[in-house]
Amino acid sequence: MGLLDKIKGELVDIVEWLDDTRDTIVWRFPRYENEIKMGARLVVRESQTAVFVNEGLIADVFEPGTYTLETQNLPVLSTLKGWKHGFHSPFKAEVYFVSTRQFTDLKWGTKNPVMMRDPELGMVRLRAFGAFAARVVDPQKLLRELVGTDPQFRTDEVHEYLRQNVVSHLASALASAGIPVIDLAAHHEQLGDQLAAKLTEELADLGISVPNFVIENISLPPEVEEALDKRTSMGIVSSGTVGSMAAFQQFQAGQAMEAAADGGGSAGAVIGMGLGQSVGNAIVPPAQPTAPAPAQPAAAPASGPPPLPGWYLGNGGAQAGPFDDAALAAQAAAGTLTPGTLIWRAGMAAWEPASSVPDVAKHLGAPPPPLPPQA
């Protein structure tokens, strides 16, 4: 091999990029001081763009296809180099391959909660997370604004910047949507489309678009979610009726007792039991016991008809009653009411034998005649 053939062998005659990664956005073709042959083949595959840079200036841009590098298809570079009349010569130029495919599964999330005013819950703090896709739509802007002279520009170098843009627009998107927090889950797709359009507009100067934006979850603080769960439980048990609210009291007490059993009888569980009982009592007041009749009645009023709530019986120092007329008749039939049984009701000055009170004596019947004398 002669010296001329050796020199020619050191020149680059194929310029291409076979991407074996999933996160490289821009890759600079390594020349290692070798010059590119005039007439070399340039291979630009689908989802790629090749950008030639000469002494820091962007020259020619090639879309997907296979090219033979000559002065006629390197018009800008030919002008910068000063080639005249189709002069063919080896040349040095930096070639950047830019991937124009979608870079998916770029994660985003809120490090700090986003404040929002909800029409039902008031001021709430929200956290959210999801994923989005990014794509280079203008390689020249990307090289000028972000890449610079980086020989291998990866997604992690721009991911944090994109995530910050997402979070900065999330709060305004949630606030302007006017959707209650409870209904946000049904509008994830709508909010994602709005954010994708807004971020694409925001990143246009960098040559990047966001074709897809996914909201996986929007969550409330744990204590708020727990309160909502409790509110749902109350709605299921109570159903707005007094009888069901009494059942809720039992449900609340049972829940507290279960928590006490799991936690060894903590003070919080005891408080929960008391709270459940107090809530139930506030809604369903406990029945009040009937006051017993006085052992010794007060004197009847001086004027006006006496009230007739019922009769009281006194036998052997024990008091029973009150009884209405039907109950008195039953007491007489059972032998509990006898002519000597003491009787009292409201309006009477004192206890009297049943035989001396006409309204009671009528239930006693006629006394039997005396037994005949024995023979």
pLDDT 10s digit of each residue in the chain, 375 long? 454 444 454 567 899 999 888 899 999 998 766 688 888 999 999 999 999 998 889 999 999 999 999 888 888 988 888 876 677 778 888 999 999 999 998 999 988 888 888 888 888 889 999 999 999 999 999 999 999 889 999 999 999 999 989 988 888 888 777 888 888 889 999 999 999 999 999 999 999 999 999 999 998 888 888 888 777 776 665 555 444 555 556 666 666 666 666 655 444 444 444 444 544 454 445 544 444 444 544 444 444 444 456 888 887 777 887 888 888 788 888 777 888 888 888 878 888 888 888 888 887 876 666 667 765
* 355 within domain boundaries: yes
Contact 196, 166 (CB under 8 A): no
* 303 within domain boundaries: no
Establish whether the linkage from the previous residue to 322 is cis, with ω within 30° of 0: yes
**110 with 204, same domain?**
yes
* 370 within domain boundaries: no
3-state secondary structure of 231: helix
**109 with 209, same domain?**
yes
Contact 328, 311 (CB under 8 A): yes
Contact 360, 341 (CB under 8 A): no
pTM comes to: 0.59
**Which residues are CB-neighbours of 270 under 8 A, at least 6 positions away?**
256, 260
How would you list the strands of the sheet with 48-54, edge to edge? 57-62, 48-54, 94-99, 24-28, 152-154
**238 with 335, same domain?**
no
**215 with 148, same domain?**
yes
Torsion of CA 317, 321, 322, 328, to 10 degrees: -100
**25 with 53, same domain?**
yes
* 149 within domain boundaries: yes
**Residue 289: its pLDDT value, please?**
47
**180 with 146, same domain?**
yes
Give the separation between CA 217 and CA 129, rounded to whole angstroms: 6
**Which residues are CB-neighbours of 321 under 8 A, at least 6 positions away?**
293, 310, 311, 312, 313
**188 with 133, same domain?**
yes
Q: What is the DSSP string of 158-205?
A: HHHHHHHHHHHHHHHHHHHHT--GGGGGGGHHHHHHHHHHHHHHHTGG
Phi–psi pair at 142, nearest 5 degrees: -60, -45
- Alpha carbon of residue 10 to chain centroid: 64
**Which residues are CB-neighbours of 259 under 8 A, at least 6 positions away?**
266, 268, 269, 272
**Residue 71: its pLDDT value, please?**
86
Residue (of 135, 123, 142, 326) closest to 212 by Cα position = 135
Give the separation between CA 264 and CA 257, rounded to whole angstroms: 10
* 13 within domain boundaries: yes
**107 with 188, same domain?**
yes
Please report, for the domain that includes residue 107, its CATH number: 3.30.479.30
**233 with 254, same domain?**
yes
Give the separation between CA 292 and CA 307, rounded to whole angstroms: 17
CA distances from 329 to 311, 332, 353, 363 (A): 12, 5, 16, 5
Residue 308, token pair as written in the block: 């007739």
Residues facing residue 97 across a β-bridge: 27, 50
DSSP 245: H
Amino acid at 358: P
Q: Is the dihedral of CA 335, 336, 340, 344 positive or negative?
A: negative
Domain end call among 197, 220, 243: 220
Domain extent for 357: 311-361
CA distances from 12 to 52, 124, 244, 308 (A): 15, 62, 86, 123
Give the separation between CA 358 and CA 335, rounded to whole angstroms: 18
CA distances from 84 to 35, 79, 88, 190, 241 (A): 19, 9, 9, 57, 96
* 290 within domain boundaries: no
* 288 within domain boundaries: no
**185 with 271, same domain?**
no
Number of domains in the chain: 4
**Residue 371: its pLDDT value, please?**
67
Domain end call among 242, 265, 283: 283
* 354 within domain boundaries: yes
Domain end call among 198, 220, 242: 220
**168 with 256, same domain?**
no
**83 with 23, same domain?**
yes
